[in-house]
Structure 1
């Protein structure tokens, strides 16, 4: 196998793997009833004039399955943290006790669970689109190479096998997340 072809296959596999990694990150932001610090992963806080991830300005803990506590490194940033949580539109109502921000995670309703499943399916579909785009780019790159038709066909079959494998991984991830969301 020539070097260019090998490079195309390896980089395509890496890109497809990254699409799955991104999907799993997105799934962490979709809550499934139990409070986790990852739920606040998308929250940005205005800190000294710039938008900063919440995890860099405060310590996030889960004292129990339904509560998140955010202990800011500087007490003066409590109101900015509350604003950031509200602005992130996660459906949480933050309260502060003067020293920390407390979020009570409400139990999910059946309707909300179905919405979250739809959101998870949309994220999975985005990952599949990304994987298919990686396949398209790889196939186009293979066609540009000066190799025989047989080598081209074998390389395209390898790319298709990679695509099928990664799409199955996306489906498996989605099934796990869907069960997690629908479990009460």
Structure 2
């Protein structure tokens, strides 16, 4: 019973950290990486499709992403989807390959992105605390139903708190790394 509650809480906290990592990967730094376009949807014959389903995405150099549509007639739709995305990118078509240069970040834009990243990290910390609260509620319910003793409940709550502290520290570490990456010129 107690082991299940702790295991379930830890799994949810790890899932929260994975979500935070994926959210951080979407925040653009000055460098190009293929994961930047992962959530861009292309109108593929009337149905929205992920860009990596209709094109091959590669790195041309450190500041340029290359997008090669599998079908030549999809080049215009892919280019439009990238331009219309909220990433602020301006793709350039050169024959079969669409080049997506990464614009240099201004100091002001870097500070704005830092605020966004901090908000994402705070949301992750709140989610981790919510998992802790849910686990503690389950433990209190088990105590009330006399499934566990008061000592067991107290020890389990201490363990859940240690898990929470560990995962919040991990979220803070991810935040510091992302802030350093954003502020690096």
TM-score, normalised via structure 2 length:
0.94
How large is the Cα RMSD of the aligned pairs?
Answer: 1.1
* 1:56 equivalent in alignment to 2:53: yes
* 1:34 equivalent in alignment to 2:31: yes
Give me the whole-angstrom Cα distance separating, in 2, the residues matched to 1:42 and 1:113.
Answer: 22
Deviation at 1:106, TM superposition (A): 0.9
* 1:119 equivalent in alignment to 2:120: no
- Tell me which of 127, 132, 152 is aligned to 1:130: 127
Instruction: State the number of aligned residues.
Output: 181
* 1:76 equivalent in alignment to 2:73: yes
Output one character per residue of 1:28-81: Cα deviation in whole Å (capped at 9) or x when no partner. 111221111111122111113221111111111111111111000111111221
Give me the whole-angstrom Cα distance separating, in 2, the residues matched to 1:69 and 1:150.
Answer: 60
Output one character per residue of 1:122-151: Cα deviation in whole Å (capped at 9) or x when no partner. 111111111111111111111111211111
Give me the whole-angstrom Cα distance separating, in 2, the residues matched to 1:50 and 1:132.
Answer: 39
Give me the whole-angstrom Cα distance separating, in 2, the residues matched to 1:153 and 1:141.
Answer: 12
Output one character per residue of 1:4-25: Cα deviation in whole Å (capped at 9) or x when no partner. 2111100100110110011111
Deviation at 1:94, TM superposition (A): 1.3
Deviation at 1:153, TM superposition (A): 0.8
* 1:172 equivalent in alignment to 2:169: no
Give me the whole-angstrom Cα distance separating, in 1, the residues matched to 2:137 and 2:162.
Answer: 16
Question: Residues 76-155 of structure 1: matches in 2 within 5 Å?
Answer: 76-145=73-142, 146-155=147-156
Give me the whole-angstrom Cα distance separating, in 1, the residues matched to 2:135 and 2:77.
Answer: 45
Give me the whole-angstrom Cα distance separating, in 2, the residues matched to 1:153 and 1:87.
Answer: 53
Structure 1 stretch displaced more, 92-101 or 12-21: 92-101
